């Protein structure tokens, strides 16, 4: 028994000695450092967190920068996580999600030498550049916080293209969409989707449902997603568009089970859900990774744009679009493709503006 204690004590002592010499030498002070603070949830969410991570990482590799990520566990930890990167001397900090926007704006004001990139963030500040709780947004974010860019996407444009596909391939004349939580971006996707479907079939019937007003549940509940999808299928829907994160996996599974078509969201979901490739006809994509990478790279130059920047069909590289059709290429006839190309060109030129609400 005594032996055991000695071993344990020796182990602890050894651990402290080893840990002292086990740390790597700190990187050179002038090296560029890029950090990502994720939204609450997991890194591998096949959506914003993951795309921000991959985009930031790709930019860091191209620029030869150090790259790190802090995953947020609780919304009250945003400040602490951003501050950790600031204290560690990071030059570019990418924060993910609209909830972290307030803390990002505060940090941007306190640290003018650090560049902040807010993914999916509106910037609303008062005349002093502080976050504005009254939403008057009297201050001009671009001049007051020249080190902070809020990346926003024209989701309605991607949704519109998905809607053209759905309206064209539906045989029953009924299509459905599942919203995780009715956040502005989700609403925009679905508004665009329904407008797109109506543009090819004015009589089409559209079904839509919000899973849960609490995003923590709305986007993380595949079982409920599946149940809602099955209800829609029972009501005759034969194309389902999911805008519901992990919940959407359940929607797409239900579509596969019933032998109808599903449309993915945000990223090419055939890549993320390869087992469902036989029914995912396409995905309404925000080119998150490419856009975030481009913005992160711009942060190392003088071309960094401050304030809210909307990325859309006209952006370079294009920030929205449809994913490849993979196994279901034959479903998209040349006529459908022509309509899609036409709509994309009109959105690019600004002639066509799908509704955001």
Cβ-proximal residues to 338 (8 Å cutoff; 6+ apart), any chain: none
Two tokens, residue 277: 């490739």
| Residue 143: CB minimum distance to other proteins, A | 23
Question: Is the CB of 80 or the CB of 349 nearer to other proteins?
Answer: 80
What is the total count of residues that contact other proteins (CB under 8 A)?
43
d(CA 100, CA 102): 6
CB of 135 to other proteins, least distance (A): 4
State which of residues 25, 28, 64, 76 lies at the interface with other proteins (CB under 8 A). Answer: 76
Tokens at 313, concatenated: 């069909």
Which are the contacts of 121, defined by CB distance < 8 A and separation ≥ 6? 95, 97, 98, 100, 101, 104, 150, 151, 152, 308
- What track of x and - describes contact with other proteins for positions 103 through 142 (by CB under 8 A)? -------------------x----------xxx-------
For the CB of residue 338, give the shortest distance to other proteins in the complex, in Å.
Answer: 36
Query: x-or-dash pattern for other proteins, window 203-242, by CB under 8 A?
Result: ----------xxxx--------------------------
CA quadruple 306, 297, 155, 242: dihedral sign: negative
183 binds other proteins (CB under 8 A): yes
Shortest spacing between CB 11 and other proteins, in angstroms: 8
Spell out where the chain has E strands. 33-37, 66-70, 92-96, 115-119, 148-153, 174-179, 205-210, 239-243, 261-266, 280-286, 307-311, 320-322
85 near 52, Cβ under 8 Å? no
Angle separating helix axes 334-349 and 184-200, nearest 10 degrees: 130
- CB of residue 83 to other proteins, shortest distance in Å: 7
Task: Specify the residue, 83 or 230, whose C-beta has the smaller distance to other proteins.
Answer: 83
Kindly list the residues in this chain that would bind other proteins in the complex (CB under 8 A): 1, 4, 8, 12, 15, 18-20, 22-23, 35, 40, 42-43, 68-71, 73-77, 79-81, 83-85, 87-88, 98-99, 122, 133-135, 183-184, 213-216
């Amino acid at each position: 028994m005594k032996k055991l204690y000695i071993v344990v004590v020796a182990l602890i002592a050894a651990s402290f000695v080893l840990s002292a010499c086990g740390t790597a030498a700190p990187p050179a002070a002038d090296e560029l450092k890029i950090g990502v603070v994720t939204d609450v949830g997991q890194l591998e969410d096949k959506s914003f967190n993951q795309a921000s991570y991959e985009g930031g990482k790709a930019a860091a590799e191209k620029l030869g920068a150090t790259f790190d990520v802090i995953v947020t566990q609780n919304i009250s930890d945003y400040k602490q996580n951003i501050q950790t990167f600031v204290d560690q001397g990071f030059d570019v900090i990418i924060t993910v999600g609209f909830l972290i926007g307030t803390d990002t704006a505060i940090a941007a004001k306190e640290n003018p030498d650090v560049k902040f990139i807010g993914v999916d963030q509106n910037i609303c500040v008062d005349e002093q550049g502080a976050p504005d709780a009254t939403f008057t947004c009297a201050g001009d974010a671009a001049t007051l916080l020249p080190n902070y860019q809020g990346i926003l996407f024209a989701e309605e444009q991607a949704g519109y293209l998905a809607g053209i596909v759905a309206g064209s391939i539906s045989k029953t004349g009924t299509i459905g969409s599942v919203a995780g939580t009715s956040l502005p971006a989700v609403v925009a996707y679905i508004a665009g989707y329904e407008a797109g479907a109506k543009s090819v079939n004015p009589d089409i019937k559209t079904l839509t449902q919000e899973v849960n007003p609490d995003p923590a549940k709305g986007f993380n509940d595949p079982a409920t997603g599946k149940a809602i999808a099955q209800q829609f299928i029972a009501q005759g829907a034969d194309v389902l568009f999911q805008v519901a994160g992990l919940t959407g996996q359940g929607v797409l599974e239900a579509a596969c089970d019933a032998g109808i078509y599903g449309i993915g969201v945000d990223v090419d979901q055939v890549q993320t859900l390869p087992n469902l490739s036989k029914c995912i006809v396409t995905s309404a994509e925000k080119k998150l990774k490419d856009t975030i990478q481009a913005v992160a790279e711009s942060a190392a130059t003088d071309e960094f744009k401050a304030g809210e920047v909307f990325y859309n069909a006209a952006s370079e590289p294009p920030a929205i679009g449809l994913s490849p059709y993979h196994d279901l290429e034959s479903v998209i006839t040349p006529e459908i493709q022509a309509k899609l190309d036409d709509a994309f060109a009109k959105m690019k030129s600004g002639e066509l503006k799908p509704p955001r609400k």
